[in-house]
A = this chain, B = another copy of it.
Amino acid sequence: MENIYELTSIIEKDLEEACLTDTERNQIAEKINTRLAKNSIVLAQTNPVSGDVEGNARKASKWIKWANKLNVEAVIFPEMYLIGYPIGDFIDRFPIIVEENEEWLRALAKITGKVKVIIGFVQKNTDKYGKKFYNSTAVLENGKITHIIRKSLLPTYAEFNDYRHFEPAKIDSETRIININDKKAGLIICEDGWNDKDFFEKNLYRQDPVEIVVNEQHPDYLINCSSSITRAKKEQLKHNMLSFAAQKHKTPIVYVNQVGSNDNISFEGGSRVYDAEGNLIAMAKSYTEQFFIVNPFQPQQNKVYPLPKGLEKTLNSQKAFTLDHEPDLERTYLTIIQSIKDYFKKTGFKRAVLGLSGGLDSTVCATLLTDALGKENVLGISMPSKITSEESKSDAKKLAENLGINFCEIPIKEMYETTRTKFDNIFCTVQKQWNCRYKESFTNDNIQARSRAIILWGIANEFESTLPIATSDKSELYMGYATINGDMSGGFAPIADVSKTKLFALAKWLNKNRTVKNAIPEEIIAKRPGAELAINPKTQKPLLAEEALMPYEFLDEVIWRVENLQQSIFDMMESKFLYETKENITSEQKLQWLEKFFKRMSTALYKWSIMPPSPIVDARSINKAEYNQPIISSKINYKKTTLEYKISKLS
């Protein structure tokens, strides 16, 4: 006999493809209904498109119609589902979109029956005071909008900018109770559930809406409608916090989250239920839409789908940098795949073209694109220059063969030489005027990278629905080790938030875990990274990246400490790096690398500001959707100096 979740997977297919007849639908509904206990509800773990109100509403209407066939009490959509999340600033500039979402909300209300619909939208604020809008959730029932609950705590950190657009609802005056069958549900919206005074050491807000709704309105359980993005280590925090709150308040918590990616940010779903003792009793799949039936009062009816592999191993927060990236690799992979898929689908693109250098970055990008878009939609181009080794060329070709993607080789020698010839004349002329040539210039290196980008963008211009791919990784972007209009240019940058040591681990993981094993040639993983744009005068071989920068293991720990511990040079000099436990380095060497890091980072800010969209994956990133630093702030003092020293300098 099929269980509920085998049956709902048929519903999900039908929602996607309308593949069932009405008779078949009724049969499935009947089967499910015999298996449902009272107080079952549907968590509509859905993937809305920001701004596509009509598309989102049409999808909701299909889900609602399906729910109406079942003996469930309610169907619950994520925060701001109807307009999508994030919104950026478009609701301020185009208020017509808010009207549109309010009209569609009324239209959806008309098709509701006894099954309650709980759905997020943007509500106009008609008062004389405050921001123009509320971040609201409506309850729809028997053809009408019966209740509207508004968000009180408005996050404005990292990728969040809620307070920019929304007026906070007064916590004390907001009634958050919805009667669902014979139970009272307390409805809270995302951040409203993240301010427990006992769980967090420091609180962003003074009041805790959960505490207030529990103490004053006495719900039988809590429902949290969220749009909460995936980040390294966030699952641990989320699980611990929700479980803690359920226990503390002795009430089940139902958590409904958005799934899917929008530009830089990704929602992993993971909708779930905790019982009144804080036990996890239901968990949706991650990284997929799901029509997920749960019952907060009948644990045995529910299903707990496993989290992406590895996450369960690390339920404690990470206090030190580690090279053991394994626990986060499946989540990283799934986030990037979903991100590529959704960016291409939601913007109407289909195919990707990228340069294959035989190096790690382009190799991992090609592999991820293959899995996200299908091998027939990926074109890898080897574009060797004079410096490119035979191994690089053959590695690139071998990779393309293993992946089964389209491939061609286009030497850029003539393009390089034509440009170079041009430059010789120009430089002589300009030198007479400015007389300030660099002794060590990057012109030649960059001509190569930019000629390659011309080829990729040309193909994108000539063939429909094709995007060129930027292959820069996080470690190199921190160092500004990427060419403007070269390798950092593209329509999308899949690995811009993956550090180099993690990329090595991901390459090995891909070889082990993809259907086609070992698609990435061992040689590519074994070789030390280098851009093959310049020759190292000392070795007379192509310059290696670690020679130009610093050891990647050291570099990645600096990045990790900046993002996760907010450390200064002083703090880092006081701490022992993982690299130092393996290699003997002097503190002069360490200080030199740290100073180099901050100096290079300061001049990389401009490059960060013109990066193409790219998935945020790590706990923190330099993605402009979550981190912004003025380019002119290059004179920041990242060291710590004492007050006395400073005063002496003033007088």
The segment from A86-94, A515-523, A575-583 found at the interface with B is A86-94
Interface residues of A in 447-465 (CB under 8 A from B): 447, 450-451, 453-455, 457-459, 461-465
List chain B residues, Cβ under 8 A from A633: 49-52, 84, 87-88, 90
- Report the bound CA distance from A446 to B461 in whole Å: 8
Contact B485 A568 (CB under 8 A): no
- The one of B451, B455, B650 that contacts A57, using a Cβ cutoff of 8 Å: B650
Task: Give the CA-CA distance A629 to B438 in the complex, in Å.
Answer: 40
Taking a contact as CB atoms under 8 Å apart, the answer to whether A464 and B484 are in contact is no
Distance in Å from the Cβ of A567 to the closest Cβ of chain B?
A: 8
Q: From A97-105, A116-124, A313-321, give the one contacting chain B.
A: A97-105
Bound: A161/B408 CA distance, A? 48
Binds B, one of A3-11, A227-235, A300-308, A605-613: A605-613
User: Which B residue sits closest to A376, measured CB to CB?
Assistant: B433
> Which of the 9-residue segments A242-250, A413-421, A497-505 touches chain B?
A413-421
A459 touches which of B379, B426, B635 (Cβ 8 Å):
B426
**Cβ A643 vs Cβ B454 within 8 A:** no
**Sample (16) of A-B pairs whose CB atoms are under 8 Å apart:** A49-B632, A51-B630, A54-B637, A86-B630, A89-B629, A96-B639, A107-B643, A406-B433, A410-B425, A426-B458, A436-B463, A438-B463, A450-B485, A485-B485, A609-B613, A609-B624
Establish whether residues B450 and A457, one from each chain, have CB atoms under 8 Å apart when the complex forms: yes
A428-455 CB contacts (< 8 Å) to partner B: 429-431, 433-434, 436-438, 441-443, 446-447, 450-451, 453-455
CB of A366 within 8 A of chain B? Answer: no
Assess A630 versus B441: contact at CB under 8 Å? Given A53-B637, A161-B164, A203-B129: no
Q: How far is the CB of A196 from chain B (nearest CB, A)?
A: 13
Given contacts A61-B650, A88-B628, A406-B430, 6 further A-B contacts (CB under 8 A): A99-B640, A156-B156, A379-B430, A408-B429, A410-B422, A457-B485
Q: Restricting to A38-81, which residues have a CB under 8 Å from any CB of B?
A: 49-55, 57-58, 61
Residues of chain B contacted by A164 (CB below 8 angstroms): 156-157, 161, 163
Q: Are B484's CB and A462's CB within 8 A?
A: no
CA distance A104 to B647 in the complex (A): 8
Q: Which of A211-219, A271-279, A345-353 contacts the other chain?
A: A345-353
A262 touches B465 (CB 8 A): no
A23 at the interface (CB under 8 A from B): no
Q: With A94-B638, A206-B129, A650-B107 in contact, is A458–B419 under 8 Å at CB?
A: yes
Q: Is the pair B627, A93 in contact by a Cβ cutoff of 8 Å?
A: yes
The number of chain A residues touching the other chain, given as a range, is 35 or more
Q: Is there contact, CB below 8 Å, between A485 and B446?
A: no
Q: Is the CB of B131 within 8 A of A632?
A: no
A636 CB–B CB distance under 8 Å: yes
B131 and A485 within 8 A (CB)? no
Whether the pair B107, A647 counts as a contact (CB closer than 8 A) is yes
Docked complex Cα distance between A629 and B262 (Å): 11
Closest Cβ of chain B to A17, distance in Å, is 20
Please name all residues of chain B whose beta carbon is closer than 8 Å to the beta carbon of A624 when the two chains form the complex.
609, 624
> Does A263 lie at the interface of the complex (its beta carbon under 8 Å from any beta carbon of B)?
yes
In the complex, what's the smallest C-beta–C-beta distance from A651 to chain B, in angstroms?
Answer: 7
Scan A356-396; emit 1 where CB is below 8 A from any B CB, else 0: 00000000000000000000000101000000000000000
**Which one of B51, B86, B433, B606 lies within 8 Å of A613 (CB-CB)?**
B606
Q: Using Cβ atoms and an 8 Å threshold, which residues of chain B touch A459?
A: 426-427, 430
Known: A88-B633, A89-B628, A128-B203. A450 touches B454 (CB 8 A): yes
Give the distance to chain B from A318, nearest Cβ to Cβ, in Å. 18
